[in-house]
Structure 1
Amino acid sequence: MTKRRALPAAVFVLLLATFLRFHLLEAQSFWNDEGNSARLSERSLPAILEGTASDVHPPLYYVLLRGWRELAGETEFGLRSLSAYAGVLTVAMVMALGGRGAGGQGSRGAGERGGPLNSSFVIRHSSFALAGLLAAVSPVLVYYSQETRMYALLALLAGLSAWVLLVWLGGARPGWRWAVAYVLLLAAGLYTHYFFPAVIAAQGVVAALWWLRPEWVTGRAVADGRARRLVTWLGLAAAAIALYLPWLPIFIRQIGGREGAPVALADFAAESARWLVLGSTVAAGEASWAMMAAAGLLLLGLVVGGRRSAVSLLLAVIPLALMFLVGATDPAFFKFMLVVVPFMLVLMGLAWRARRPWNVVPAGLIVAVLAGSLLSLGHLYGDPAFARADYRGMAARIAAAAHPNAGIILVAPNQWEAFTYYHRDGAPVYPLPRGRPDPAVVEPELAAIAAAHDRLYVLFWGAEQRDPQGIIAHWLDGHAFKASEEWVGDVRFVVYGLLGEPPAAPTPSGATFAGLDGETITLHEFNVWPAAAQAGDVVGARLLWSADATPRRAYKVFLHLLDETGQVVAQRDGEPGGGARPTTGWMAGELVTDNHGLLLPPDLPPGDYTLRLGLYDALDPTRRLATGDGDGLTLGTMTVR
């Protein structure tokens, strides 16, 4: 590719990368980790250093974000734009790396007049543009370029430090400026993420390969001085570590204890490959053809690239191997693999070196990979199923309800930063549990919170880790009335009414429901209060059930509020006990107390309404249980003022 064609190709790729990274940048809410970044960057520099000393990430990104917010503001767009710009620079770096892989060192070395930026490797072959195009549309690179976290910066530093290393190794007389730049980039990587030592280890193997086979790394043979250059690299790495010494004790304290459950190598390879190619915004099993095409491109790049592929292969495989060896195989750690993505894309770009007419094969594979990437990006931009948890929307809904005596519980507490980014005043926020969940500590806290409020909004996130016994959910289901429940991303958003004790004795019933497997379920008594309410209030129903035999299937309870024409104007469906007492766990003759809340719509007109109750198969809502002459039981009427 000539210079005249190379420049427009590079400009097009960078414009595309910029568009994709800034497109709908502010559309989604901050999720909890982004909220942590946003709130931490509000602090002074000493406070940031103090905070990150106990955080799971080192401080450099937060320090940069602290300065960036002064320039770009504290909106989602402003704070995320730091990652977006880092993402665009990463695409440029992939093109530079792809140029080296495609064309060798070029006519001039790093220590010669003109420097590496004037060497011919950038324009020797169009594979550099292909690598850049794949980087521009890479789902994982775009995703993390739209997140207020350090991962886009991590990918940039991994690629940039590798490029500087190759320039330094390829120079006939390696200049000290490149050596200093390399040391600073390594130190910056160490201060950005605790996984960066894996990048340094991979680059050390590249330096050792240069000592053994310099032509495999820089495209030209070197007769003398190789051992001295390798020793110098060790000195540069040591200098970077010396700059990191103030943080080294914190690194040692932080690196242990986060490995995931044991995973077979084949499973890790398959899952990580899918993530690297398509990201996390495609459903399992979707776009398998894109995976096959990516595998074909990688294989073809290795074959066609020959020894030119060795550097990218090492820089991609070694961090992956280290992830597996240290047990960082859970999908939550896959974002560490952003340090691998630039080199994987360079390998794919090498496939375009296939000679005519065989280059029709990589052309077809490229189209398939690009189609898979665009499919994933379409999900990222427009499919709510793949959206981040909408803390902005949840905070707005709570504010719009404007309940005069509401409280908010966050389970787990590390949602606090993201939620309070949007919820700055109004209802008090209670992060629970504080430390290890202990019923003797948590339940009195819940009782005190419940006594102070008439309504609770509860955000459950990662409860299986922070409250594995379900202490908070079980207490609330037994002492409050669950009025609504929905998933907002990976957050379970629940509204509870706190109604105190009923003002009257329960109403005897004795109504029986014919179970679908021959059992009989009896409603012994019920209590519904308040009898008069306002639109937007929660009405509670306390039910007392039993079954003559343990049901073999789960049933759900429905509460319907009907207007004078028989139309349903409010509805609540749920398993008994808020899901904690499914009917499949009832013992024969056991009495089961069951609380349900019905949230009245805020625009419900005043008038008299009828409340009906029934049961249905949890797996098939059309199969209702018969009772009396129908499939529902009238509990009474209530008035909306």
Structure 2
Amino acid sequence: MLILIDVFLFFTHWFIFCSHSEIMLPCQSMKPRITISKISLSWILIILTLIAFGLRLYRLEATSLRGDEAFDSIYATLPILDIIEQNRFIQTYPPLYHTTLHFWLMIAGNSAFSIRWLMGVIPGTLVIPLTYQLAHLLFRRQKLSLLAAWLAVINPYLLWWSQDAHFYALLSMFAVGITVFALRVWHKPSSWLLLWLYIIITVLGFYTHYFTYFSWGAVNLIALWFTFNWSDKAGFVMSNQGLMLQKKWWLAQIIIVVLYSPWIYLSLWIVTTYIEPWIEFAPFVEILYRNLAAYSIHLGQREAWGIVAIGLAGVLFLIGALPVRPDRFRKPVRSEPRFLKTCQASIILQVMIFAPLFVLYIATYIRPLYDEKLTIFVVPLFLITLARGIDLIMSNSNYSLPSLVDPTPDPSPTRIREYDFPHHSPTRIGVEGEQLLSNKCMAVQFFGKIGLLTVAKPIGYLSLMLISGAMLLSNYHYFFNPDYAKSPDWHGLMNYVHTHAQADDLLIYNFPEPTIPYYNDDRLPIILLPSNDDLDQTQIVIETEKGIGGYRRVWFVPLVKSWWDTNADVLTWLNRHADRQEEKFFRDTHVILYLTPTTWQEKMISQPTLFAEGIRLHGFHVAETDLSSDDVVDLSLYWQAERVFDISYTVFTHVIRTDGQLYGQWDNLPVSGTYPMTEWAPGEMIVDKYEIPINTYAPAGNYRLLIGLYNPATGVRLPVLDAEDKPINDHVQLSVKITLQ
């Protein structure tokens, strides 16, 4: 474990060190002011990264694993070839994640901490220096880059998924890594090392999650844009460096496709046919709002203050998306294209954000693909835009469009300026090219004229404090508010079951929730009922009767879902034919303990009684006979029908003192009103549970239990018959004495 931490910190420091190198887009030339020494900046970034690491480790096992996490842990224990085969035809996952997890489980075990540490904490922490470097690559402003890194540290959405073992933290890490190394390749096209690192990261991302396609596609869309802008049609003369970069770049894409093509061939069927049943179509406006809410404060959107925070994030995002720059970075006329570079950086950032979302929206018309968590790769880009909006406000200066036309008349038809394309190669621009550059910044001209970009520095700091406070408050709720827990308390439930389980107990769950077998860990026999989602009621009843055979008690975790055990047939059968002993509630879930028919028949106090109309009481059971005034009488009645009934009789239960005074009563149709006698089948044994409250003013002493049946329409009681089928009474006194302390 210590070795892995050392490796992690080494790569973190390497990312930070790379951030200090002179990094420029293909058309960047100016070197910004250095206001923080490299050593100080390194320490700031290391501290931010360590804070992120600590936040992601904090209370890592406080919440139980989600279903996806538990499934990954169980699924990764399969043989490697089985994982690959199932990923081809059943599961919509590339193979790298689960094969890596397979070997990790062999080393570190399958605890929640170990799988969340490797698959969530580590990639989620690496997103911080990557976000800083991406912001630095695009805008080369230390304040902006540090703001982006800080927002990534405390962002509730990134934090939430960084404490999750499912592969969304990995998706975010690989997506931003693809973008970072792509920009570094564009800056230094002569470096084969950077090119191969880009290829390796992209291929690893493809083999980890299919949605890294979107980041790769957005990067190549921008590369295609650069390709056309480097052509003579834009008024530029292509440099040798630019030509070399184009050739190497598109060669790299071919290599990526070749390295990934085996899996494309193997997984083509499942990728093109599989549809997630839980994903529904969403309009584009809804997609934008859901993303804004999730990316900014995530769980905080449930609170009243969340709407204000989302609105603030939206305003800051819009400001950050504007292609503007501070006036203090203005340079002499020959360096004015610096403004174009700022425009390009802003455009690049927004293309990388909105192009994938737009493609997802279009794809939803074919099959639903959109869900917030599947677009987590956009979050670092969103935070950079947010940080840029704050940075623009905090700069406390006007933002205006510098003149792109030299006020000095130029007699030559073509002007030559030092635009410093890659590696400061001279570039020639004509009048048409000048006009093209001016058109690209028309939006900025408009906003500059109306004075929208003139704001005060205190507003920037206030915005930073408000958005940071909203994120931190959302994180507070996530850590300490049980209502915000990412999953039910499966761990606590299974600990309770294991603590109170006995020999010959069985665990049943009626929905394929992987957390149940994960936390059971083979300690109890466990079965899923129904075994699949296409069984009818009769088949489910047969499976249930067969499944509990040979066991004395059943622990049942009811999970009624619309696509599995839709009518709660398993729960219904157990309530009617097994004797419920206990129901224990946990956060967002509960478990019920039943005695199987074999067991309750052994514990039943036999008192055969025949009522008119062929209704037979075989016996009863009272859980406790020594009670206090605030207790209830826990009574089980065991009925059997001898024929089909035309009237649904109501059962009455009375708690009577020796003087005949009534101190407790409960009447309802059998099985808590859910199983009227008109639905009973001849010969069927029915378990009928009652919890009879005792009046608080009941005096201490001995009490009797009386039961009977009556017609709810007339109130007439059904007579009790003797051996000769003659009426002898309208109720039966159970052979038990209740003592009230």
Aligned equivalents of 1:561 and 1:231: distance in 2?
91
Select the residue among 157, 170, 185 that pairs with 2:187. Answer: 170
Shift of 1:543: 8.9
Q: Which residue of the partner structure matches residue 617 of structure 1?
A: none
Cα contact 1:461–1:492 (8 A) shared by 2:
no
Structure 1 residue 86 corresponds to structure 2 residue 119: no
Deviation per CA, 1:131-153: give whole Å up to 9, x if none.
01110011111111111121111
After superposition, residues 332-371 of structure 1 pair within 5 angstroms as 333-351=371-389, 352-354=391-393, 355-356=395-396, 358-371=456-469
Deviation per CA, 1:567-592: give whole Å up to 9, x if none.
xxxxx99998579679xxx9xxxxxx
Select the residue among 412, 416, 423 that pairs with 2:511. Answer: 412
Query: How many pairs align?
Result: 560
- Corresponding residue SS for 2:371: helix
Deviation per CA, 1:156-200: give whole Å up to 9, x if none.
0000110000111122x3422222211211111111112222222
Aligned equivalents of 2:490 and 2:204: distance in 1?
32
Q: Which residue of the partner structure matches residue 349 of structure 2?
A: 312
After superposition, residues 442-457 of structure 1 pair within 5 angstroms as 442-457=540-555
After superposition, residues 131-530 of structure 1 pair within 5 angstroms as 131-171=148-188, 173-213=189-229, 223=239, 226=242, 229-230=245-246, 232-255=248-271, 256-258=274-276, 260-280=279-299, 283=302, 287-303=306-322, 305=324, 306-327=343-364, 333-351=371-389, 352-354=391-393, 355-356=395-396, 358-387=456-485, 388-415=487-514, 418-439=515-536, 440-461=538-559, 463-485=561-583, 488-499=586-597, 503-505=606-608, 529-530=620-621
- Corresponding residue SS for 2:592: strand
Aligned equivalents of 2:383 and 2:673: distance in 1?
47
- Corresponding residue SS for 1:596: strand
Q: 1:426 to 1:160 in 2, by over 3 A?
A: closer
Aligned equivalents of 1:263 and 1:295: distance in 2?
20
Cα contact 1:530–1:539 (8 A) shared by 2:
yes
Amino acid at match of 2:263: W
Select the residue among 92, 113, 120 that pairs with 1:77. Answer: 113
Q: 1:433 to 1:213 in 2, by over 3 A?
A: farther
Q: 1:131 to 1:532 in 2, by over 3 A?
A: closer
Q: Which residue of the partner structure matches residue 74 of structure 2?
A: 39
Shift of 1:281: 6.3
Amino acid at match of 2:527: Y
Deviation per CA, 1:325-359: give whole Å up to 9, x if none.
33399899321111111100111111213321633
Cα contact 2:636–2:687 (8 A) shared by 1:
no
Shift of 1:21: 0.3
Q: 1:213 to 1:50 in 2, by over 3 A?
A: same
Q: 1:450 to 1:2 in 2, by over 3 A?
A: same
Shift of 1:506: 6.1
Cα contact 1:407–1:453 (8 A) shared by 2:
yes
Shift of 1:228: 6.4
Cα contact 2:577–2:597 (8 A) shared by 1:
no
Shift of 1:88: 0.8
Q: 1:142 to 1:508 in 2, by over 3 A?
A: farther
Shift of 1:382: 1.4
Q: 1:532 to 1:19 in 2, by over 3 A?
A: closer
Bigger Rg, structure 1 or 2: 2
Aligned equivalents of 2:110 and 2:462: distance in 1?
44
Aligned equivalents of 1:610 and 1:224: distance in 2?
102
Shift of 1:94: 0.6
Aligned equivalents of 1:201 and 1:353: distance in 2?
29
Select the residue among 575, 592, 596 that pairs with 2:689. Answer: 596
Deviation per CA, 1:10-37: give whole Å up to 9, x if none.
1231122111100011222223221222
Aligned equivalents of 2:559 and 2:495: distance in 1?
18
Q: 1:178 to 1:533 in 2, by over 3 A?
A: same
Aligned equivalents of 2:617 and 2:190: distance in 1?
85
Q: Which residue of the partner structure matches residue 427 of structure 2?
A: none
Shift of 1:264: 2.8
Cα contact 2:64–2:490 (8 A) shared by 1:
yes
Query: In terms of mean alpha carbon deviation, does 43-52 or 390-399 score higher?
Result: 43-52
- Corresponding residue SS for 1:238: helix
Shift of 1:87: 0.9
Q: 1:261 to 1:575 in 2, by over 3 A?
A: farther
Shift of 1:282: 5.2
State the TM-score, normalizing by the size of structure 2: 0.65
Shift of 1:497: 3.6
Q: Which residue of the partner structure matches residue 719 of structure 2?
A: none
- Corresponding residue SS for 2:286: helix
Q: Which residue of the partner structure matches residue 436 of structure 2?
A: none
> Which structure 2 residue ranges, 5 or more long, are not aligned?
1-33, 325-342, 397-454, 627-632, 641-646, 658-665, 680-685, 693-700, 708-732
Cα contact 1:413–1:433 (8 A) shared by 2:
no
Q: Which residue of the partner structure matches residue 56 of structure 1?
A: 92
Amino acid at match of 1:183: I
Aligned equivalents of 2:221 and 2:481: distance in 1?
42
Aligned equivalents of 1:579 and 1:188: distance in 2?
58
> Which structure 1 residue ranges, 5 or more long, are not aligned?
104-123, 510-523, 551-556, 564-571, 587-592, 600-606, 614-633
Q: 1:562 to 1:304 in 2, by over 3 A?
A: farther
Q: 1:270 to 1:495 in 2, by over 3 A?
A: farther
Shift of 1:61: 1.6
Q: Which residue of the partner structure matches residue 721 of structure 2?
A: none
Aligned equivalents of 2:294 and 2:674: distance in 1?
35
Aligned equivalents of 2:655 and 2:208: distance in 1?
55
Q: Which residue of the partner structure matches residue 66 of structure 1?
A: 102
Shift of 1:204: 1.8
Aligned equivalents of 1:36 and 1:558: distance in 2?
47
State the TM-score, normalizing by the size of structure 1: 0.74
Q: 1:221 to 1:360 in 2, by over 3 A?
A: farther
- Corresponding residue SS for 2:534: coil
Aligned equivalents of 1:301 and 1:383: distance in 2?
33
Q: Which residue of the partner structure matches residue 624 of structure 1?
A: none
Q: 1:451 to 1:611 in 2, by over 3 A?
A: farther
Aligned equivalents of 1:214 and 1:365: distance in 2?
39
Between the two proteins, what is the percent identity of the paired residues?
20
Aligned equivalents of 1:130 and 1:559: distance in 2?
69
- Corresponding residue SS for 2:148: helix
Aligned equivalents of 2:376 and 2:587: distance in 1?
23
Q: Which residue of the partner structure matches residue 720 of structure 2?
A: none
Cα contact 1:437–1:471 (8 A) shared by 2:
no
After superposition, residues 544-555 of structure 1 pair within 5 angstroms as none
Q: 1:102 to 1:360 in 2, by over 3 A?
A: farther
Cα contact 1:496–1:597 (8 A) shared by 2:
no
Shift of 1:213: 4.7
Q: Which residue of the partner structure matches residue 35 of structure 2?
A: 2
Q: 1:612 to 1:320 in 2, by over 3 A?
A: farther
Q: 1:174 to 1:462 in 2, by over 3 A?
A: farther
